[in-house]
Amino acid sequence: IMAFAPLKIEPLRSQDLLYVSKVFSSSSVNSSDYDFFYFDIENFANIEIDTASVIFLVGAITYFKDVDFEILYSYLEKGGTVIATPGIMASQSIQYLQMHEILSSEYQGVFDSKSIFTQPRVSKIQEDTFLSVLFKGVEDSDIFTFPVFKYTKLAIKAPAESWITMTDGFPFLALQNVGKGRFYMFTIEFNPFFSDFPITNSFLPIMCEITDKASFLNKSYVQKLSVGQRLTENINNAKIDSKDGIFVGGIAEKQGISCLSSGIPVEINVSRLESFPEKQSYAIVRSRIFQQSDKINISSSSVSGSIIYGHQKNKINLWPYFALSVFIVCIAEMLVSRVLDRREV
C-alpha cells in the first residue's frame, strides 16, 4: 500500500496519514498482510506505483501534473485501486479528474457548517455493493450517526456512482471503474476538522473492505465480485455452475457464493467478515449467506478464523462516569449545606 500527500507544502497532512496508517497496523486486522509506505507527492512520478495494490492520494490530486495523471490512469487501467480525497483546492482536483476521465463529476462548492443542526450525516449505502453487505444488520455501527462538518459537494455523472450518500443528497463516497481498476473518492479529508469519520468505528472496516477488494488480497483460488460485474479473464473460460442462478452469461446477478467447474469459489458482495479464504468450510459459509439473506450474521462463534473489527468489541465503561457523577453530587450537597448553615446563623 502506498500513500501520497503534499507533506512539504502541507505538513499537517501527516495527521491524515496517521489515521490511514493506523488502520493497517490495528490489532483488529492481520497487519502482516500489509506493507504501508508513504511519500511526498513530488515523488509520485519517480516511484514505480505498479508494485502497489492500493494507492492513497491524501489531498494530493491538487498538485498533480499532466504526467502524474497519465501514470495514475495507466495504473487504474491495469487493475489498480486508488482511494483519494479532494485536497485543499477541491474545484481544481475535480476538474482535473473529469478532464482525465478518472471521475465523472462536477464541482458544486464546499459545505462548511459549525452548527449541529445543519451538519449532514450518512443516510444511504448503495445496495448491491459490498459495503451495503458489510453494514447490513450491524446494530452497533455508527456509520449513520457521525457528523460531517465540511466536505466537497459533487454532482456525480455516469459512469461514476455514489456508493455512500449523505442526508442532503451529496455523495460521501463516489466510485468509478477505470479499465480494470477502481477509483474511490471520499468528499471529506481524513481528519476531524472535516468529519468524525476517521475516529469512528466505521473507518477501519470500510477501509479494510475497500482494500481487501484489491487483487493482492484476493487469494488465487477465490474471485471477489460485485453484483453486475463480469468474471475476470483468467477464469472466464471455466464452466459456470448455473444451478444456483448466481451467474447469467458470466455476469454476477445476485449476492452469494458460487463455484466454477474448476473448483474456484466466486464471492459476490461477500464482506471481509464472511470471506471464504479465512474460513474452514465452504459449505458453512454458503449456508450462512443463503439462510440469513435478510440479516448477515457477522459473529465469529460458528466459524474459526474470522476477523472481528474493532467496533464489534468496543464496550463503553460507565464506571468512570458514575464515579464522577457521585463526586459532583457530594460536592453539591456540601455546598448547599454550607449555604443553609450560614442562613441559620
Contact present, 130 and 80 (Cβ < 8 Å): no
Amino acid at 284: I
pLDDT for 345? 55
The pLDDT value recorded for residue 137 is 60
The pLDDT, as a whole number, for residue 307 is 27
**pLDDT tops 70 at residue 249:** no
> What cell was used for 283?
459449505
Position 172 pLDDT exceeds 90: yes
What is the rounded average pLDDT of the residues 57-65?
A: 94
Using one digit for the tens of pLDDT, what is the confidence trace for 105-121?
Answer: 999 999 988 766 678 89
Q: Does the predicted TM-score (pTM) go above 0.85?
A: no
pLDDT of residue 73: 96
pLDDT above 70: residue 283:
no
Separation in Å, CA 317 to CA 209, 314, 323: 28, 9, 11
pLDDT tens track for 17-51: 999 988 877 655 554 567 788 999 998 998 889 88
Mean pLDDT (whole number) for 115-135: 83
Residue 268's DSSP bridge partners are: 225, 256
pLDDT at site 141? 75
Percent of the chain with pLDDT over 70: 67
pLDDT at 140 over 90: no
pLDDT digits (tens, 9 = 90+) for 83-112: 999 999 999 999 999 999 999 999 999 998
When the pLDDT of each residue in the chain is averaged and rounded to a whole number, the result is: 76
Model confidence at 142: pLDDT above 80: yes
152 compared with 251, residue with greater pLDDT: 152
What pLDDT score was predicted for residue 236?
45
